Amino acid sequence: MIGDKIEIFDTTLRDGEQVPGCKLATDQKVKIAIQLEELGVDIIEAGFPISSPGDFKSVTEISKVIKNSRVCALSRAVEKDIECAGESLKFARYGRIHTGIGTSDIHMKYKLRCSEDQIIERAVAAVRCAKKYQEDVEFYAEDAGRTRDEFLAKVCEAVIKAGATVLNIPDTTGFCLPEEYGAKIKYLVENVKGIDKVVISAHCHNDLGLATANALSAVVNGARQVECTINGIGERAGNTSLEEVAMILKKRESLPFYTNIISEKLLSTSNMVIEETGMPIQANKAITGANAFSHSSGIHQDGVIKHRENYEIMDPKEIGAEKSTIILTARSGRAALAFRSKELGFELTKRSLDKIYVEFLDLADQLKEVYDEDLQKLLEKNQLLIRQALA
Ligand code: KIV
Ligand code: ZN
């Protein structure tokens, strides 16, 4: 492995599950947690125990079965939340409490109605309280993306002194640009006393479609943990997508980082989350979308048939997909038609291909996609011609 390890903190079961319509029962959460552990996730955020008895039970049950990954429970900077999170983790082999408070001007003024000093006091008290239950305590500075750097640094320094082991710098509203978010992490690295003793974590939301780019920018500037969800599900436009971060760090050698993710399990994990949450993903979703490895334009199909790497930067097997697919549409060329015909057992010569291609285009203009059954019928209809051309 080259470079630094990036810890993968999966919050599918907490931030992901906050999405309306995504509610998961305890047995579903346990099933997904087991899959996340097999996938190689370092930390599984299992829930927000104070939020409901169901969530408390889910964190408890996950804590009982997960043995290699760390199990994390969320709380606000409120004593009863933290106690509840601590209680829910009592069976965890490796546990972590994730506690925090808003630090941006807007949160301090309109949500918390607290002064800067009061925020720092509450943050420190929360970390000290969490330390009674778990050695590993992650602090989140909610809305850090819109927090003034100087104040954020002050908060970070105070919670490190109080015993925080991980500092989460969330871009809660998905507002930051990659350079801004990266610069914020760099500022903290350079200006917070004791920061070298803790792990900096990136937690990015996707409101402007920048969650993955922002998380990477944070890593380049010193973050060593990325918070993400399977399929990028999460509040509003979602969170950084785990599969994107894992594959970027695996494929791009110019980024000297690695994760423990077993990429061959990405597709099955994505499918499990779709099935359990009932939340489909778009066909063009990077890495795991239905079209991520399918080629439909004639030029691309011809290129991929000649040499896969002409148009593919990853082998589909790397994410657990069987193979790439050549989709037949009115945009397909002869190469794709010949390729798919061969897969169905029909060897086409140039002459038969030219003839059948004309009929194929007529058919493709009528249908959105020409499936195997449609193609089979077309080829059977032209069987005589195919045989004669071969003779
Ligand atoms: O987006 C956010 O700020 C959060 C925190 C609770 C970590 O999800
Ligand atoms: Zn979040």
Ligand 1 nearest-atom number relative to CA 172: 1
Q: Is the CB of 172 under 6 A from ligand 1?
A: yes
Confidence class for position 388, pLDDT limits 50, 70, 90 = confident
10 closest CA partner among 28, 36, 38, 48? 36
- The answer to whether the beta carbons of residues 159 and 195 sit under 8 Å apart is no
Q: What is the pLDDT of residues 90-102, one digit of tens each?
A: 999 999 999 999 9
Is the CB of residue 15 below 6 angstroms from any atom belonging to ligand 1? yes
Place of tokens 């990853």: 314
AA identity, residue 279: M
What's the half-sphere exposure (Cβ side, CA atoms, 13 Å) at 283?
Answer: 3
CA distance 245 to 259: 9
**Rounded Cα distance, 48 and 236, in Å:** 18
Report CA(17)–ligand 2 centroid distance (Å): 11
Neighbours of ion ligand 2 (CB under 5 A): 15
Strands (E), the chain: 4-5, 7-10, 43-47, 70-76, 95-102, 137-142, 166-171, 199-204, 225-228, 257-258, 294-295, 325-326
Q: Which two tokens stand for residue 382?
A: 């032209």
Residue length of the chain: 391
Q: Which domains does the chain have, with CATH numbers?
A: 4-277 (3.20.20.70), 294-390 (no CATH)
Ligand 1 and 168: CB distance under 6 A: yes
Q: Say if ligand 1 is within 6 A of residue 28 CB.
A: no
Q: Which residues contact 275 (CB under 8 A, 6 or more apart)?
A: none
How far is the centre of ligand 1, averaged over its atoms, from the C-alpha of 285 (Å)? 24
Structure letter (DSSP) for residue 148: -
Confidence of residue 6 (pLDDT cuts 50, 70, 90): very high
Residue 143 Cα to ligand 1 midpoint, Å, equals 8
- pLDDT tens digits for range 326-365: 999 999 999 999 999 999 999 999 999 999 999 999 999 9
Q: Which protein residue's CA is at the shortest distance from atom 2 of ligand 1?
A: 172
Ligand 1 atom 5: residue of nearest CA: 142
CB-based contact 64:91 (threshold 8 Å): yes
End-to-end CA distance of the chain: 56
Quote the pLDDT of residue 1: 79
Residue 76 Cα distances to 19, 30, 73, 140, 336, angstroms: 19, 23, 10, 9, 56
- Is residue 11 lining ligand 1, measured as CB closer than 6 Å? no
Rg (CA), the chain: 25
Indicate if the pLDDT at residue 391 is higher than 80. no
